[in-house]
């Protein structure tokens, strides 16, 4: 049940009725506690209560700050400063951060709803393939690995999608990176199944030597360096400066010292380009999974149905990228032609698979 404005005002009345108004420190502390409660439960407030909190919080914050500034350093002052920080957005209530992923995105962007629509469709196609394949009996380490890893990617994609929708961009990139790493393992175990025997063994040293990402790419005859994998690693899995830049940016503070400061986001980093990229890559990776599964498990599938599914999935993905990724690049004045050229080639093409 939402917290109504009368309920909120009643709580404020009870907080203040026992406070001596001549005791500024006690008054400010009680008021700060009340605002802390209001902000921590902001998403549970009804529209009227939210409007009330928005309207009065800045005045309350300023009054509390004026009192806190005059207080000697101590526990009460620090507690007040932390609550004032929460009111001003400079500090974070843990409860609100915990609730972020359990709630709808708090920001809007045109790519979010279309991403959900096509992601759900592509993921269902991939799950259908896996269902058809697992209705049959399988033997051997390679088959076990291919099926198990395929379902693992489903979890990675679900995580990446929800994180992308909430602008947790670094973590979304990290899950996308893992998905591509696993796709390459599935490919290796399909074309060179003997390596699966090592993968299920307990020889950790040899597993790392032979089956780490760069070694897998080498066995598949691919270049040692994969720029896309490196991109996901840099922005997602590794603690790089570029990854940190995806969490904020520089702000020039206009004061007498002309001090340059950095603004960092916590609980999501709503930079438009990363929102577009992570949501787009969730779609891209899900199509990659579908295509990989359709080939790896081809003997268990209906060929005519899969051809139709892949053509439709390919076209839907291409149109999605043109409407959202390419259009974003155009709007930013970037060279979008390479993206269009990429979409014209199999398997990411409008006309064929």
SS3 of 140-180:
CHHHHHHHHHHHHHHHHHHHHHHHHHCCCHHHHHHHHHHHH
Omega within 30 of 0 (cis) for the link into 347:
yes
Are 12 and 146 contained in the same domain? no
User: Is 348 a domain residue?
Assistant: no
* Per-residue pLDDT tens over the stretch 40-92: 787 788 888 888 887 777 776 777 777 778 888 888 788 878 877 877 777 88
Are 256 and 151 contained in the same domain? yes
Dihedral pair phi/psi, residue 260, rounded to 5°: -85, 125
Q: pTM for this one?
A: 0.80
Are 214 and 290 contained in the same domain? yes
User: Is 51 a domain residue?
Assistant: yes
Neighbours of 182 (CB within 10 A): 19
Mean confidence (pLDDT) of the chain: 87
* Per-residue pLDDT tens over the stretch 192-230: 999 999 999 999 999 999 999 999 999 999 999 999 999
* Per-residue pLDDT tens over the stretch 256-284: 566 666 778 888 888 899 999 999 999 99
User: Is 20 a domain residue?
Assistant: yes
Are 289 and 141 contained in the same domain? yes
Q: Do residues 43 and 103 touch, judged by C-beta distance below 8 A?
A: yes
Tell which of 77, 102, 127 closes a domain.
102
Domain count, the chain: 2
Are 130 and 274 contained in the same domain? yes
User: Is 315 a domain residue?
Assistant: yes
Q: Once rounded to an integer, what is the mean pLDDT over residues 117-135?
A: 97
The reported pLDDT for the residue numbered 266 is 85
User: Is 107 a domain residue?
Assistant: no
User: Is 353 a domain residue?
Assistant: no
Q: Is residue 25 pLDDT above 70, yes or no? A: no
Q: Do residues 46 and 65 touch, judged by C-beta distance below 8 A?
A: no
Are 177 and 275 contained in the same domain? yes
User: Is 352 a domain residue?
Assistant: no
Are 217 and 333 contained in the same domain? yes
Are 248 and 145 contained in the same domain? yes
User: Is 218 a domain residue?
Assistant: yes
Are 97 and 17 contained in the same domain? yes
Q: Is residue 175 pLDDT above 50, yes or no? A: yes
Tell which of 80, 102, 124 closes a domain.
102
Are 118 and 266 contained in the same domain? yes
Are 96 and 240 contained in the same domain? no
Q: How far apart, in whole angstroms, are the C-alpha atoms of residue 175 and residue 79?
A: 37
Are 331 and 239 contained in the same domain? yes
Range of the domain at 129: 112-343
Q: Is residue 350 pLDDT above 60, yes or no? A: no
pLDDT above 70 covers a percentage of the chain that reads 92
Tell which of 47, 80, 102 closes a domain.
102
């Amino acid at each position: 049940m939402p917290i109504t404005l009368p309920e909120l005002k009643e709580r404020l009345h009870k907080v203040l009725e026992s406070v001596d108004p001549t005791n500024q420190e006690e008054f400010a502390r009680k008021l700060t506690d009340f605002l802390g409660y209001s902000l921590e439960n902001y998403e549970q407030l009804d529209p009227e209560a939210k409007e009330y909190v928005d309207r009065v919080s800045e005045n309350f914050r300023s009054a509390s700050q004026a009192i806190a500034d005059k207080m000697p350093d101590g526990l009460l002052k620090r507690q007040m400063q932390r609550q004032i920080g929460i009111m001003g957005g400079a500090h974070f209530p843990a409860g609100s951060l915990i609730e972020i992923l359990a709630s709808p995105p708090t920001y809007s962007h045109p790519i979010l709803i279309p991403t959900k629509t096509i992601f759900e469709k592509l993921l269902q196609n991939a799950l259908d393939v896996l269902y058809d394949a697992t209705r049959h009996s399988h033997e051997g380490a390679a088959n076990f690995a291919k099926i198990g890893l395929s379902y693992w990617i489903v979890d990675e994609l679900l995580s990446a999608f929800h994180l992308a929708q909430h602008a947790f961009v670094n973590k979304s990139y990290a899950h996308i990176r893992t998905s591509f790493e696993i796709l390459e393992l599935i490919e290796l175990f399909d074309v060179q199944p003997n390596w699966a025997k090592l993968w299920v063994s307990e020889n950790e040293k040899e597993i790392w030597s032979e089956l780490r990402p760069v070694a897998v790419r080498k066995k598949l005859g691919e270049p040692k360096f994969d720029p896309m994998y490196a991109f996901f690693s840099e922005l997602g899995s590794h603690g790089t400066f570029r990854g940190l830049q995806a969490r904020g940016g520089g702000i020039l503070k206009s004061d007498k010292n002309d001090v340059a400061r950095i603004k960092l986001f916590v609980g999501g980093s709503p930079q438009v380009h990363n929102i577009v990229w992570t949501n787009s890559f969730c779609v891209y990776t899900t199509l990659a999974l579908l295509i990989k599964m359709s080939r790896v498990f081809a003997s268990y599938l209906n060929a005519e149905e899969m051809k139709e599914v892949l053509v439709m999935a390919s076209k839907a993905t291409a149109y999605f990228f043109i409407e959202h990724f390419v259009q974003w690049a155009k709007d930013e004045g970037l060279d979008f032609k390479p993206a269009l050229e990429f979409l014209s080639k199999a398997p990411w093409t409008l006309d064929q698979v």
